[in-house]
Amino acid sequence: MSDTLLKVRDLKIGATIYPPGERPRDIEIVHGVSFDLAPGKVLGLIGESGAGKSTIGLASMAYGRGGVKITGGAVWVNGRDILKGSHKDIRKLRGAEVTYVSQSAAASFNPAKKIMDQVVEAAVEQKKFSRKEAEARARVLFAKLGLPDPDNIGERYPHQVSGGQLQRCMTALALCPEPDLVVFDEPTTALDVTTQIDVLMAIKEAIRDTGVAALYITHDLAVVAQVSDDIMVLRMGNTVEYGNVDQIINDPQEEYTKALVSVRSIEHEEKAPTEEPVLSVRNITARYKGTQFDVLHNVNVDLYPGQTLAVVGESGSGKSTLARVITGLLPPREGEIEFAGRKLSPDLKGRSREDLRELQMIYQMADVAMNPRQTVGTIIGRPLEFYFGMRGAEKKKRIIELLDEIELGEKFMDRYPAELSGGQKQRVCIARSLAAKPKMIICDEVTSALDPLVADGILKLLLDLQKIEDVAYLFITHDLATVRAISDNIAVMYQGKVQRYGGKSKVLSPPFDDYTDLLLSSVPEMKLGWLEEVIAHRKMESAGN
């Protein structure tokens, strides 16, 4: 027994669904999953959204979130079956033997209490340490996790530290009571790539130094490969493949795992700049209303017809603001925009219907970019009606054509957005913008809310459509793998300035400036030992640190 800390056998988890117009019924969302975890080891749980990975993670604390019930199987922690334990036994377990690190530290900390009070709470409550001992231990952990000023950072409130620091505070919170097992639920997903590395390294070292075992839940195989000993691939509540990290990454057996490992295999030849640019942004400086701070400084970029310009940067670099300026939602303070050979009015109100038609936009969150009360047919049909005056059969024919182009087909016409998956929703948004026959589409982080395989499909679709419709994309993203896959030109943005700009091969080959180097080296690679190499190689601290 001593060599297994956590033993999960045939775990089954169910939930109740409430389909409209029908009686509520019970469904099973995890169908008998089994695994073992030895002390000091890390097991990575990986899968797309809906795979059941978080549910399994929480079940190892005997917890079912939001009406989820554990319906079968057994979970042993330190030799005890915790599912059979009383309420009191479970209270003793949580926060003492097993702790939890959630995805969004910002949403999980109480903003009204100091960080230290929250970090030591569980340890003191569980009588593991006295308040004084717990605080001393917290300071040691802050230092170990690389937080600045470890002796005093606990006196700050959660909003006074950055997102990456807060995520590390949360790791300290989880480690403070000296647990045997920590469940990490997507701890780095909400962070920028450059910050993600620091947090990842801190977590990895903390796990190694404290000898704690961990369940590491994520959808990013490259990340999990850096920290885990074993990996379990999950899909729709079933185990697809379970083995040690070396075997999963280098010798995957199942088709699904192979697809995950080889994702982002799109090849795109860079095109040389042609004739006149379709969009040319000249010396744009912009700030938000009521602030005294420029978020864009003297930005200059060009986009050529039928090509893709990728705008890359971390959050806060001004890339989405640039999109708002181009669309006219935020008139710039200085500079001008030329589009299709004419000068664009800085304000949305001053633009002609032709300007609006030729410049379309696709959003990050497809769910809120479509009116939930309109059918797919109405959503795609409206631009046809609005710009081209199409009616009746002619409109219907064109909608079906567009639905075929996005590989969905006619049967989707009468569906509501709520009846589509994430990838299908994004496809409908693409069709809506194509319906206007635009010269250029702004794609604002269109794949970042999607699972890797689905995102891959969307990128392929966008590239195919570019060939057919000869449309130019301004592609805003923080994900360099996406940039490599689709761009012709790249603009790297940092703190509101264009740091590096040019053709893809030029931007992505040395010599690099320090920021581009940091950004490029921070993209997780599907390779063991990558994390250590990167940390050794770094020249510059990330902005979120």
- What is the distance between the alpha carbons of residues 107 and 118, in angstroms, rounded to a whole number? 13
CB 372 to another protein: min, Å = 5
Query: What's the DSSP call for residue 539?
Result: -
**Omega before 372 cis (within 30°)?**
no
CB 390 to another protein: min, Å = 14
Beta bridge partners of 94: 98
Please give the distance of CA 315 from its chain centroid, rounded to a whole number.
12
Compare residues 176 and 436 and give the one whose CB is closer to another protein: 436
By CB under 8 A, residue 417 contacts another protein: yes
CB 518 to another protein: min, Å = 31
- What is the distance between the alpha carbons of residues 467 and 258, in angstroms, rounded to a whole number? 28
Single-letter code of the amino acid located at 526: M
Q: CB of 363 within 8 A of CB of 444? A: yes
CB 324 to another protein: min, Å = 10
Stretch 326-385 residues interacting with another protein (CB under 8 A): 327-329, 348, 351, 353, 356-357, 360-361, 363, 365, 368-374, 382-383
Compare residues 371 and 505 and give the one whose CB is closer to another protein: 371
Range in contact with another protein (rule: CB under 8 A) among 16-24, 186-194, 331-339, 483-491: 16-24
CB 151 to another protein: min, Å = 42
CB 449 to another protein: min, Å = 12
Compare residues 57 and 417 and give the one whose CB is closer to another protein: 417
Among 1, 2, 3, 20, the residue binding another protein under the rule CB under 8 A is 20
Compare residues 358 and 488 and give the one whose CB is closer to another protein: 358
Compare residues 136 and 329 and give the one whose CB is closer to another protein: 329
By CB under 8 A, residue 17 contacts another protein: no
Compare residues 8 and 323 and give the one whose CB is closer to another protein: 323
Compare residues 18 and 293 and give the one whose CB is closer to another protein: 18
CB 365 to another protein: min, Å = 6
Give all strands (DSSP E) within 204-348, no chain letters. Answer: 213-218, 230-235, 238-244, 279-287, 294-303, 308-312, 334-339, 342-343
Cα angle value 507/503/274 (rounded, 5°):
170
Stretch 429-468 residues interacting with another protein (CB under 8 A): 432, 436
* Helix, strand, coil shares, percent, the chain, to 5: 40, 25, 35
Q: CB of 360 within 8 A of CB of 438? A: yes
Compare residues 114 and 351 and give the one whose CB is closer to another protein: 351
Q: Show the tokens assigned to 157.
A: 């409130």
Give all strands (DSSP E) within 79-204, no chain letters. Answer: 80-81, 98-101, 181-185
CB 455 to another protein: min, Å = 19
By CB under 8 A, residue 388 contacts another protein: no
Beta bridge partners of 80: 77
- What is the distance between the alpha carbons of residues 464 and 186, in angstroms, rounded to a whole number? 32
- What is the distance between the alpha carbons of residues 145 and 160, in angstroms, rounded to a whole number? 18
Compare residues 40 and 331 and give the one whose CB is closer to another protein: 331
- What is the distance between the alpha carbons of residues 21 and 103, in angstroms, rounded to a whole number? 34
Range in contact with another protein (rule: CB under 8 A) among 255-263, 324-332, 401-409, 466-474: 324-332
Cα angle value 293/298/300 (rounded, 5°):
140
Give the interface with another protein as residue ranges (CB under 8 A): 18, 20-21, 327-329, 348, 351, 353, 356-357, 360-361, 363, 365, 368-374, 382-383, 386, 416-419, 432, 436
